[in-house]
Chain A
Amino acid sequence: DAGVIQSPRHEVTEMGQEVTLRCKPISGHDYLFWYRQTMMRGLELLIYFNNNVPIDDSGMPEDRFSAKMPNASFSTLKIQPSEPRDSAVYFCASRGDSEAFFGQGTRLTVV
């Protein structure tokens, strides 16, 4: 397996634009997590899914953030409209029975 795959690796966008981050989890994993990493706040859990169903979205900072998982092999995290304070590295992770594996992340810069 190629591991957790995220795209794009880097995204630069202007304030107010919509941003969509994508994730392909490891095949067979039934949990998927979205994290945000910043220097100030470290690794924060935004939302996680179990069997494609959102279980806990209490970490989603605002209504501007939304996440979907239409099937077991794909998830998106959308920010609309984006703001400069959303600049961070966003990680997707997936797990089966125990270990969680992370993707390489998407570095988002909102100018």
Chain B
Amino acid sequence: GENVEQHPSTLSVQEGDSAVIKCTYSDSASNYFPWYKQELGKGPQLIIDIRSNVGEKKDQRIAVTLNKTAKHFSLHITETQPEDSAVYFCAARGSARQLTFGSGTQLTVLP
């Protein structure tokens, strides 16, 4: 089955700096890659996703890149703000049709 690895597990940045979180996947048939943000005491919330037919997608301060050849994708957050502090999960959906999640990254934005 699919295996998703996520790095780093924790990330601290100064407010205004950029944050990058990276994931790799194993199933070459995977074609959908969402990113979720989970705040304390809440369920994961979809923030951006990308499909295998594009290499990059951007939504305001958030962007995701996908390299299908290398089987890795990344989340980029620019001009970070304290409210960006949360746990971020990457996921991949492949031939099994359900999402497999990475282990999560605790992002802390220092004021």
Inside 8 A of A98's CB, which chain B residues have their CB?
A: 32, 49
CB atoms of A42 and B104 under 8 A apart: yes
Inside 8 A of B104's CB, which chain A residues have their CB?
A: 42-43
Give A21-45 as 1s and 0s: 1 = Cβ < 8 Å from B's Cβ atoms: 0000000000001000000001101
For chain B, the count of residues having a C-beta within 8 Å of the partner chain is 19
Partner of A102, one of B32, B44, B49, B100: B44
Partner of A100, one of B42, B46, B103: B46
B100 to chain A, nearest CB (A): 8
**Bound state CA distance, A56 and B34, in angstroms?**
21
Question: How extensive is the interface on chain A, given as a class?
Answer: 10 to 19
Q: How many A-B residue pairs have CB under 8 A?
A: 39
Partner of B43, one of A48, A55, A104: A104
- Known contacts A99-B49, A100-B34; decide if A42 and B43 are in contact (CB<8 Å): no
Q: B98 in the interface, Cβ–Cβ < 8 Å?
A: yes
Partner of B99, one of A4, A45, A55, A105: A45
Inside 8 A of B43's CB, which chain A residues have their CB?
A: 4, 91, 93, 102-105
Inside 8 A of B44's CB, which chain A residues have their CB?
A: 43, 91, 102
CB atoms of B49 and A45 under 8 A apart: no
- 9 more A-B residue pairs beyond the given contacts A43-B44, A43-B104, with a C-beta to C-beta distance below 8 A: A42-B101, A45-B98, A45-B99, A91-B43, A99-B46, A100-B99, A101-B46, A102-B44, A104-B43
B residues near A (Cβ < 8 Å) are: 32, 34, 36, 42-46, 49, 89, 96-104
